[in-house]
Structure 1
């Protein structure tokens, strides 16, 4: 298990960033490596982002050595989305089988965690978000059919999309973590359009189901001074509370969104008019 650390940056800092510096501070690549567990610890609301791809062996993790606690989830909760083939997460002896697009919620206090794939030729790809938690909530597997789907956008504006809530008060409760998956309708390219800010919550995106030679242009920064990241399949992006977050793809794609902050009010946002973008 590896743990990279990102310290975050403020809106005034990124005015001087070149492309590589912006990517170093906000983009997480190589989360999904065969037979490895890779984590990134960010000081942006102390979110941990991770990936695990068990191919030829079972992958075990759960130690809190890197964060100064007995176990990784001694004082944290975690959401795990399976973006690959069928796989199993075992937590303190309790096993959960995740099909593609299923999500597992792990409550505070989990100790020994392991991941394995049903078929190494089509391995599971477990994407993880973990945040500090102040309550004990039972583990829960949320199947795709159990998620709550909402439709946003307009095909005439190329932003029609289906958003599925998984870890959310209306589906499966948590302490502070929210997590879901958004798919664009055929022929649409824009996500999170029109843009907005949510000062009381940060967010992370993980783009997936994107062909290897295609890209998403992820737009971030303050509305009056935007920046962009060119991201590939299975890249993840940090979006601090001060930043907008929207993107357009060169082909169909999906993304996992995870959030944490002061509240779990999905609609606690400040819309940004397109004419205000610079």
Structure 2
């Protein structure tokens, strides 16, 4: 597990590209046969990526967190972005197909990740945040998620947002998690841009061609910056930062949030004409 400390908005004007990427871009989560974690001091979210091939991958020890177990004081969401696989939590096994999401409640001791076919491995993307309640584990299949159709074709931002870990689908303590797909020929996500001062967000972009990139815009509305993001890279978005992006080709993204509440509409839109 490596650590990212983030930055305050007043620090951003002095950052060059390398420093901006170091503090807000998470690369290399998915490597065959490995399990990788990043701990961020932005609301203490942990991002993880597991790609089991021939052998299962397991985690659960909490020594790096100062707790007995990884989930002693945390909850997690696990999204499968690859081939079919299985997640076992203390002996209880859940089968995850592509774009299924498993909610893992506080208190789990050992979590094991496996792929059904090593030649088409599962890609398990993990978001974990502090939790103050014990809520049962629950698998949310793609067809059980709640879809919201957003945007307009003429503005190139037509997309379908699917809620998975959300009060309207399955309960959690503070974690929200879902997946957004853009309609064919559309490039913009999260339009118009907005701020939510009471929550941070992490984006994981996936289903991209190797040569494509998403231009992810961040920063204060009056002083924006951008990150060039590749397939299976994640971006950390603090509460003080806008977030929106445009892709050079097809893509999708997983969004995960935590903060003071779970009110999805608790945000402040930022008019495009005010961006600088």
TM-score by length of 1: 0.99
Corresponding residue for 2:222? Answer: 224
Corresponding residue for 2:197? Answer: 199
Could you list the structure 1 runs, at least 4 aligned residues long, displaced by more than 4 angstroms after superposition.
Answer: none
Q: What is the deviation of 1:55? A: 0.7
Corresponding residue for 1:118? Answer: 116
2:176 pairs with one of 162, 175, 178 = 178
1:248 aligns with 2:241: no
Cα RMSD, aligned residues only: 0.4
Mapping for residues 1-278 of structure 1, pairs under 5 Å: 3-278=1-276
C-alpha separation between the residues in 2 aligned to 1:149 and 1:28?
27
State the Cα deviation string for residues 42-98 of structure 1 (Å, max 9, x = none): 010000000000011110111101111000000000000000000100000000000
C-alpha separation between the residues in 2 aligned to 1:62 and 1:238?
24
Could you say what secondary structure the match of 1:23 adopts?
A: helix
C-alpha separation between the residues in 1 aligned to 2:33 and 2:102?
20
Could you say what secondary structure the match of 2:18 adopts?
A: helix
Could you say what secondary structure the match of 2:129 adopts?
A: strand
Structure 1: segments with no counterpart, 5+ residues: none
**What is the count of residue pairs matched by the alignment?**
276
